[in-house]
Structure 1
Amino acid sequence: MATWIRSWMNGDEKQGEENELSGGNQDAHVPSAEELRQKRLERLATLQTSNSNEQIPIPTPAPISVPKEKQINKQQIHQEVPIAAPQPVVKQPVVKKKSLKRNPLHDVLSRILQVTLTPPGTNEYVYCQVVGDTINGENLSEIMYMRLISEDATISTLKYLFDVYQRSRMEGNNLLETELNVMKSLLDMTINYSVTCLLEPEMFPTPTTSTPLEDFDSIVRHPTPSTQSFLELVAQGLETQGGVAAVGRIVGPIFQKLVSEIFLGTQSLLAVEVWAPPMQTIGSLVRIKSFATVFVNMPGFLLTPPLNGRRLQDATALGILLRLSTDSPDPAIKDMFSNITKRTRNDVDKSLRNLRNELKFVHNLVTDIFKCLLKAGPVCKERVLAWLSQALEVNQEMAKENPNPALTSTAGMLINLSVVLLRLCGPFLPPTSTKHSLIDPTFLRASPNPIFPSDSTKLVQATDQITTTSKKLTDFNFITQCFYLTVECLHLGPIATMGKYMRLMRQLSYVQNLMTTRQEPQIQMQFDAMVTAKMIMDAKLLMPEFLHELVRFILLSADVVNRICLDRDGKSISSPLTLPLITHEQELLVPFVPEHIVEDIVNSLLFVARLAPQELGSFSFDNLLNMALIFLSSPQLIRSPHLRAKMSECLFEICLPPQESEDRPTLGLPSAVNALTENRVAQQHLAPCLLALYGDVEQTGFYEKLEHRYNIACLLKYLWKCRAHKPAFLLISQNQPAFVKFAHGLMNHINSLLTDALTNLPEIKALQEEAQSPQWGLLDQSVQEQKQSLLQEKERTVTSSLQLANETIHMMSYLTSEIQAPFLMPELEDRLVGMLNSVLVKLAGPRGLELKVANPETYKFRPKIMLREVVETILHFSDIQSFQTAVASNGLYDPTVYRKCLHILQRTQLIPPPAIASFENLTDTVEAIHASIAKDDQVFDDAPEEFMDPLLWQLMKEPVTLPSGYIVDKSTITQHLMNDATDPFTRAPLTLDQLVPNAELKSKIDEWIAAQRRQE
């Protein structure tokens, strides 16, 4: 625990000379009673004289619970609630004088000061003996002086003065303007004496029950409508009479005590009665600038070594205020969600509301404190910014998947801090605001960066030529500071917690499935514990207000990222978006951008779309769509294929109408769908970008690429239906290298998907039959569990593969309905035919019966639809002679399979009768060509070795020479380069433009073929 907390709890208020703001006692001569009295009289006489000459100007403070005051006037005086007068001790009965007519001012002042000029008798006020029988402006100072030095009153001096101040602000009905000036003078004297009482308590009689500092503490902790204005005036007086050190000596110990009470009192969010009062008191004190300065200069305000997130949370004032969350070690919080499976939904929702209400209370109080500190002047602002920088620096461990809890703050503390920062960003978050244009992206160029660690992965690799700056955080405007502090805090807190939440959800799903097969108490206990953990995370992470502000900030972040990509300094963009970008990435700020900034935009939107989709309904997604278009069309700006794939996933989840993906639900927000279909830049570039991305996701991993390609296939299918997007498909088909790469990947993918899925289906069928056989019960339980686990794994794999295969085969069908020419290029035609023949053999070949499993729709296995779409694709090329020849000469061609497909079509009418007739004609034609080719093959069997392709050992049609000197057929090497851009013989880098046609060899081959045919 911090040193200053220990000092306070041990009763040692002295903090040493190293920090004058902390206050402390110094050794001094202890005066006698007579010396004190004499000194008091001299001091008060001086004050009495000064009150008539130099008055402290009264500012216009803003009390906590009442409107801001402009000046003291009759209306304000009567707005106050009367304060009960104290009951002083009456010395002896007073003999009443003859009743005289008094003016209203006398009666008001008598009530305010609780004094009487009538000799002691039955009057309850303290008697003051002065000349005359009326209290007025001329004798007010003398009477005040006499009341203060009176040792007969039981109420302490400071409390008395505070009561006088309150009554002064409430009294004055029917007083004239000149009389109100007397009231003003009384307020001035009250504040002057209050300051003196705090700084020189020995000047006044003090009851043994409390000291002036204790009285001041009590006044602060029990606010009335007059408290805030009193504190502001006292603060001004303390600075005037004793400087900053005087303010620290009075207020410093109070701050220390309040913070220590929160630290030692509880860590439970539910113990509101313990932590709320001191936190509210801190909030009222820091509204006053000089008090706020004391707070930020307290010992321990900034973290001292050892530096880590746990100590920041437990040993700094702001950390202690922020640590109250659902993460606190309070069994009562877990009990709120115990036995959750046996409780009603209303009961669980009530528990969630209760937790969130307490969190909102914390957020409101701490946000108010931060705002006050940031507004309290440059010193306070700089100290708070320094603390915020520390909070992010010492919690970098939180960016890891499994951070060390001993070195980090809790996720709850960082989420609380994120809420505070989001609220500070509030003024520049709305899309209609122009303040966000003040965000300065050149902040990212600062090195070392005051927020982002130097080893963070950047969007692209920087070169040595890029220039950095040595600016500090405070060299930038507050909007820039606030924006980037929030970016990093969200990364370390809420967004990191979202990742843990999704992992917990996957674990819950696994355990829940396990419970269906194994009814064991341990599994039930594990499930209950995980559900409880989930609900506690729900309370802090899925608060609607927080998610709404998060989405606003994330969409603004997307706009800032777009500016960084489109302008060298990241300034506002006025010209229309033109893609692809031609500015070199090293000329932009892109090499300075941490990759996680873009990744957090995507991940947080995906999280909200899946867990709280209702929070996205009111937003526009143009900035998100533009960001995706920029990075997908200009891959040089982002090196991670995973992140580019994530962007397509985000578009799939948010922008795709639900009916366009029957296997995976989507949100399909109307505003997002409109952005997808109506955005002119998207109409030109989105489809080509997705076609290119379809091949690039090969690098993301086996299971990941299945999901990404499914998302891309669904998006492409929807865009194909949109008339405005159709020209982009036709345009990309004319870009031969790009389209060939896409089509080659598409066909490879269909083959691999069906091979994986249809190979596993017979194994699934065998495992299902075994589980239903009498022998199943004879197996050991461990063997049963192993086989059951294998079955579930194969079912998941088959389902994922077939989901994507369905969409991919459908994509091939609708693309080839209008785009045929690119597929007939030499490098694609054989590949296309091979894929189509392979699918037909799998569906209608000799082993087709092995694919019959129980409930095929469970695995998304739809063989009839698959066969229909493959046949439709074939029919798109059926009249083209080169295609007919390619089918007949393909090694996977089987005449019996084509005949069987024809019979299936005739029996089931999967396609219209005219189409069946076309397929029958194609079947007859291909059979005839196949017979002719078989004869040619016999003739070509003895072809010279130099005519044969060395890789596939078949007669070359278009020989080309590689840089290594080897000669291969062009179609062979082209297909190889689509998978591997190297020379297959030397492994040296190789591209298509390095292939040199071998005209001489081709001429020899053609002459030899002609000669062989003449000999037939």
Structure 2
Amino acid sequence: MKRLLFKLAGQDGEQPEAGAGDNNAQDNQPAAENPEATADDMRRRRMERFQQMEAESQAQGLKQLEQMSKSPSPPLTSPKSTSPPLASSKLAAAATPSSSTTSVKPTTTTTTTTTSTSKPAATTTPSSSSTTTSTVSANAHKIRECEVPMTESDYYILEKILYIYLKPTSENKAVFLKSLATELKSELAASGEKCFKLTPDVLDRFMVERLSTAANYPAVEYLIATYNRLKNESKKKVKQFVQDQAFSNQLVELIVRYLGIILTIPDMFQNSSTPAYGTGPVQLLPYLTGEFTEELSYEFLQSFIDLYQEDKKDIFQPIFSYMSTKMTTITLLGDFLSYFKAFSSLIQFKSLSDIFIGSQYWNPPGNNGAQMETATLLGAYFSPSATSNDRAVLNQYFPSASQLSQHNIREAFVSIHSVLKNYDQGLYQLVRSLLRSSPEAKEAFLVWICSAIDKNAGRTKMNVNAAEVASDGFALNLVAVMILLCEAFVDVSFSKVSMVDTNFLLNSKRHDLSSYTRLSATSEEVEEWQKSKQLEPSPNVNFITECFFVTLRCIHIALNPSFSKIKNISRALRENDNLKRNLNETRSSWQNTPQARLHEANLEMVKKREDLYKGLLLSLEAQLFEQQFIQKTAFFLIFTTKWLLKVINPNDQKLPLPLPPNIQFVALPEFCIEDVVDFFANVSAMFPHYLENLPLEVLVNFFITVLSAPENVKNPYLKAKIVEILSEFIPRDNHPSNNYFASLFECSDLVKENLVPSIMRFYVDIEFTGAHNQFYEKFNYRYQAAHILKYRQIVFDACQQQCQHATLFVAKGGRAIHETRDSRQNLGDDELLPLAIGRTEMHGTQGARTGKMTDIYLFLAVDERFVQSVVRDGRSFKVSMFATADKIMRRERLKNDDEMDKFSKLIERFEQAAREEEQEEEDLGEIPDQYLDPILSTLMRDPVTLPSSKTIVDRQTIVRHLLSDQTDPFNRSKLTEDMLIPNTELKAEIDAWIKSKKQK
């Protein structure tokens, strides 16, 4: 026994050396957090502790043997505490004791062990009230007649749970412990008992013997599998298995303690290593990633962490370090999800998240931007991308990129985007697990990501050393994860905008903006406002504010530099194409010259460079222009413009805004607007269809607000970019997005009232950009402004033409309504009603037809004259008809809420116009005969002269007549609408008469 105690204390041989397969080796893991605690010190402390307890242990062991020889074996639920084996100097103090117990097993010719522990008595000595009643079948108490007789329930635990046999067996992964079976047989004969009891002490002997025996699979896997079998059998409540919760807990504790010993003292037992992961704590990793069949459950991890409270840092920190190191080698095409799963399984425990964020490799202060990606524990998880330096995606999907067809490129993009979605979602879940683990982890993450942003601020510069900043993929992955985190508060109604504390960005230690250019304020002004506490943030900043500004800054270091890189690669590709074309065109002049070999080599190099440039370009575009990513980012930036609108115009004043401007807005850094305009300028030019179904009205309203108040933004190029975006929103010929983009300009009162004045002011102000090339730049900007004004004129002309045809449309529509109403009234006839009911194939089109009619009314109702024309058509206009249509569309959900609200407001306008029309008729009283229409005897609003009969009639009346008969009703001569002669003199006379009547 003393020999084994010395072995546990570490003095039975030389210190094991860290080899290539040892995961505790210094070259495989980062340095320990407490390097002064050497292996010699640990062994010395263990030996001192064992020397103090050796005499007491031997005495108690002898006393125990005497009791066993005089009394029957203790029952299965014996309250005797089990002393687990010692793992390290810290393992002995895994639980703080109220009293310490020690047990000694008899010394035998084979391996024996003495184990000591300090733990609360409740864990090993359950009270009678807490002990679960044993529920076994009759066979469970039956004694198996063999060399080592035990109950069937005990043998069930040995053979089905522990995979231990006391006789030869052919069971896979089971072990026959021949020497221990012989020992037990001798001990049973000496004690005079008929049956051997499977007590916790005996289980400990079985476990030691099993782990000391070479088996066909590693000891770590055996212990994890044993735990899983134990839990599965407990859930199934197998009859042969004794359902004693206390005994089960003791067995679990035994398994967990020996697992800790194997992980911390690799040379303790045989098969304490795995071929792929060597020795040490990293052996747990394949059971976390799902690489092996057996899996570490939440309950197992919880039990392990609870038992090894003081040792968990030494056990789990190497696992975190190993996973981060491994992630730096995994590409976007690799098995990154398994490591995400393993990380999430561990980080959900607060104690482990504290270890993770407390590591010296969490956020080292001396790291540059590139090292934030490669040399921090969390940065490695953001590293895989389509643009990584290993070019795995480029080599896989874009080999010989210059020769790929568009079809092959599209297929490659689909595959890459599918992988990116899985990666982004997995990374989001990983970060979310970290944030939810504890408030300390949330704060540590914010500090880490802000540090990554600050140290990669150089990415926005024109010339930057690529070795000192993180990759494009790392920065874009930061954006993707933060955008997903922001989805919790970025909603369609923008209800959470008011929760964003602007002053937190302007005056907090989290965000250092001292080197950033402000929108329209100097650094001195900002410092003065900060000192006077005009920019004082709230004391308790919410996570929405934190998350919002971090996301905004991530976009600044990621998207705009990526857009610039695409432009630079495209420019280099064009230059390379020109060189290639020049070499091919001049081939005849150098083909037969001594320099032919040199030119051929140059041509070959140009072709390889073309493949490289095209592959790099396609890889970056595949990473950046994934539709879901672009749309989510666009929606976040629209939320940003809503916040900016709240800051620039907090009281919702009418444009142009009064001076002086809001100090919160002018103190903001330029990137708050620059990132928005650059993003939409690039996306609207390349992928305008990505922006459909997004609330761009908010974006356009903000742009108009900025243009109408140029004092709020000093930089003329920001305003020029805004004009460029508005120019891109102008509808194009035969483009599917025309209707949507047209509505941005034609359905907003703010745009209609302020667009032209704002554009004209910009047209003048761009003369003074202050740049050396302003003479040339202003022509491009003015062209875009002129493009907007030209579209405005086109819309105006179209409205004029549409108004001329409005009366014609109303007359034709009124006639159709009359015919439809007459037909409906006649459906009551006995012969027609069955026929109408039987035509069920027509029923499905009524909703669509009603929706189209509604769209037409809403489109034409922009002009008030259309509303007046509808009301004055007495034959077909009834407010009740429109109300019925509104009721049907709401019931059938034919339109969305916004469109239904617009239609309801149109009905109100019809009602108001009808009331005004009736009131006007009463006010006018008797109408002079010369002002009456000769056909309908109504007041002529727009008198026209018929060319042949020279009769004066109302335009609306004669146009309605021409719908059915294009002849003069007075002499039957040919007559068309364009032949009508406006009678302006009579119209002026009628208008004057109406005005005089109203004044009375």
* Short-chain TM bin: 0.5 to 0.7
Compared CA separation, residues 44 and 436, structure 1 to 2 (3 A): farther
Aligned to 1:83: none
Aligned to 2:689: 614
Aligned to 1:580: 656
Tell me, in whole angstroms, the C-alpha distance in 2 between the residues paired with 1:442 and 1:500.
33
Matched, 1:169 2:231: yes
Q: Using the TM superposition, name which of 545-554 and 210-219 deviates more.
A: 210-219
Aligned to 2:206: 147
Q: Among residues 688, 712, 720, which one is paired with 1:637 in the alignment? A: 712
Q: Among residues 716, 726, 736, which one is paired with 2:789 in the alignment? A: 716
Q: Using the TM superposition, name which of 426-435 and 601-610 deviates more.
A: 426-435
Matched letter for residue 548 of structure 1? Q
Aligned to 1:549: 632
Tell me, in whole angstroms, the C-alpha distance in 2 between the residues paired with 1:49 and 1:677.
79
Matched letter for residue 319 of structure 1? G
Check the 8 A contact 1:279/1:365 in 2, yes or no.
yes
Q: Among residues 768, 776, 779, which one is paired with 1:699 in the alignment? A: 768
State the 1:424 CA deviation. Answer: 1.6
Compared CA separation, residues 44 and 24, structure 1 to 2 (3 A): closer
Aligned runs of 1:127-138 on 2, under 5 Å?
none
Q: Output one character per residue of 1:962-1008: Cα deviation in whole Å (capped at 9) or x when no partner.
A: xxxxxxxxxxxxxxxxxxxxxxxxxxxxxxxxxxxxxxxxxxxxxxx
Aligned to 1:672: 741
Q: Among residues 687, 690, 701, which one is paired with 2:756 in the alignment? A: 687
Matched, 1:234 2:307: no
Matched letter for residue 605 of structure 1? F
**3-state SS of 1:493 partner:** helix
Matched letter for residue 250 of structure 1? I
Matched, 1:324 2:408: no
Matched letter for residue 297 of structure 2? S
Compared CA separation, residues 172 and 309, structure 1 to 2 (3 A): closer
Check the 8 A contact 2:689/2:737 in 1, yes or no.
no
Aligned to 1:213: 281
Matched letter for residue 743 of structure 2? N
Aligned to 1:646: 721
Matched, 1:254 2:319: yes
Matched, 1:312 2:372: yes
**3-state SS of 1:619 partner:** coil
Q: Among residues 657, 678, 688, which one is paired with 2:731 in the alignment? A: 657
Check the 8 A contact 2:224/2:296 in 1, yes or no.
no
State the 1:25 CA deviation. Answer: 7.8
Matched letter for residue 565 of structure 1? I
Check the 8 A contact 1:417/1:489 in 2, yes or no.
yes
Compared CA separation, residues 577 and 340, structure 1 to 2 (3 A): same
Q: Among residues 392, 401, 411, which one is paired with 1:340 in the alignment? A: 401
Aligned to 2:163: 114
Tell me, in whole angstroms, the C-alpha distance in 2 between the residues paired with 1:402 and 1:184.
68
Check the 8 A contact 1:648/1:712 in 2, yes or no.
yes
Q: Among residues 509, 517, 520, which one is paired with 1:460 in the alignment? A: 520
State the 1:543 CA deviation. Answer: 1.8
Check the 8 A contact 2:29/2:318 in 1, yes or no.
no
Aligned runs of 1:755-904 on 2, under 5 Å?
none
Check the 8 A contact 1:285/1:291 in 2, yes or no.
yes
Compared CA separation, residues 616 and 101, structure 1 to 2 (3 A): same
Matched letter for residue 301 of structure 1? W
State the 1:374 CA deviation. Answer: 1.4
Q: Among residues 405, 409, 413, which one is paired with 2:466 in the alignment? A: 405
Compared CA separation, residues 208 and 527, structure 1 to 2 (3 A): closer
**3-state SS of 1:687 partner:** helix
Q: Output one character per residue of 1:539-590: Cα deviation in whole Å (capped at 9) or x when no partner.
A: 21112222122111111111111111122xxxxxxx75521222522x4311
Tell me, in whole angstroms, the C-alpha distance in 1 between the residues paired with 2:255 and 2:308.
14
Tell me, in whole angstroms, the C-alpha distance in 1 between the residues paired with 2:546 and 2:25.
35
Check the 8 A contact 2:530/2:536 in 1, yes or no.
no
Compared CA separation, residues 174 and 329, structure 1 to 2 (3 A): closer
Check the 8 A contact 2:33/2:359 in 1, yes or no.
no
**3-state SS of 1:379 partner:** helix
Check the 8 A contact 2:156/2:240 in 1, yes or no.
no
**3-state SS of 2:256 partner:** helix
Check the 8 A contact 1:198/1:212 in 2, yes or no.
no
Tell me, in whole angstroms, the C-alpha distance in 2 between the residues paired with 1:52 and 1:207.
28
CA RMSD of the aligned region, Å?
Answer: 4.5
Check the 8 A contact 1:446/1:471 in 2, yes or no.
yes
Q: Output one character per residue of 1:390-448: Cα deviation in whole Å (capped at 9) or x when no partner.
A: 1011111111122221321122211122112112212122314634442222222215x
State the 1:658 CA deviation. Answer: 0.4
Matched letter for residue 27 of structure 2? N
**3-state SS of 1:53 partner:** coil
State the 1:650 CA deviation. Answer: 0.9
Q: Among residues 541, 544, 557, which one is paired with 1:479 in the alignment? A: 544
**3-state SS of 2:435 partner:** helix
Matched letter for residue 779 of structure 2? L
Q: Among residues 312, 327, 342, which one is paired with 1:281 in the alignment? A: 342
Check the 8 A contact 1:197/1:204 in 2, yes or no.
no
Tell me, in whole angstroms, the C-alpha distance in 2 between the residues paired with 1:299 and 1:670.
57
Compared CA separation, residues 526 and 686, structure 1 to 2 (3 A): same
State the 1:595 CA deviation. Answer: 0.9
Aligned to 2:355: 294
Check the 8 A contact 1:235/1:291 in 2, yes or no.
no
State the 1:458 CA deviation. Answer: 0.9
Tell me, in whole angstroms, the C-alpha distance in 1 between the residues paired with 2:418 and 2:23.
32
Q: Among residues 104, 120, 125, which one is paired with 1:53 in the alignment? A: 125
**3-state SS of 2:684 partner:** helix
Q: Output one character per residue of 1:41-84: Cα deviation in whole Å (capped at 9) or x when no partner.
A: 454687796544369xx9xxxxxxxxxxxxxxx9xxxxxxxxxx
Matched letter for residue 483 of structure 1? F
Check the 8 A contact 1:458/1:594 in 2, yes or no.
yes
**3-state SS of 1:317 partner:** coil
Compared CA separation, residues 184 and 52, structure 1 to 2 (3 A): closer
Q: Output one character per residue of 1:489-531: Cα deviation in whole Å (capped at 9) or x when no partner.
A: 1111122211221343355456556766663637655544432
Compared CA separation, residues 290 and 354, structure 1 to 2 (3 A): same
Aligned to 1:10: 27
Tell me, in whole angstroms, the C-alpha distance in 2 between the residues paired with 1:280 and 1:473.
37
Check the 8 A contact 2:569/2:613 in 1, yes or no.
yes
Compared CA separation, residues 670 and 158, structure 1 to 2 (3 A): same
Q: Output one character per residue of 1:357-414: Cα deviation in whole Å (capped at 9) or x when no partner.
A: 5544543443333222211112222222111111011111111122221321122211
State the 1:13 CA deviation. Answer: 7.1
Q: Among residues 420, 442, 446, which one is paired with 2:507 in the alignment? A: 446
Equivalent pairs: percent with the same residue?
19
Tell me, in whole angstroms, the C-alpha distance in 2 between the residues paired with 1:50 and 1:159.
29
**3-state SS of 1:658 partner:** coil
Aligned to 2:877: none
Matched letter for residue 163 of structure 2? Q
Check the 8 A contact 1:436/1:479 in 2, yes or no.
no
Matched, 1:539 2:622: yes
Aligned to 1:28: 44
Tell me, in whole angstroms, the C-alpha distance in 1 between the residues paired with 2:722 and 2:673.
10
Compared CA separation, residues 640 and 549, structure 1 to 2 (3 A): same
Aligned runs of 1:919-958 on 2, under 5 Å?
none
Compared CA separation, residues 95 and 10, structure 1 to 2 (3 A): same
Check the 8 A contact 2:221/2:294 in 1, yes or no.
no
Check the 8 A contact 2:157/2:241 in 1, yes or no.
no
State the 1:348 CA deviation. Answer: 2.8
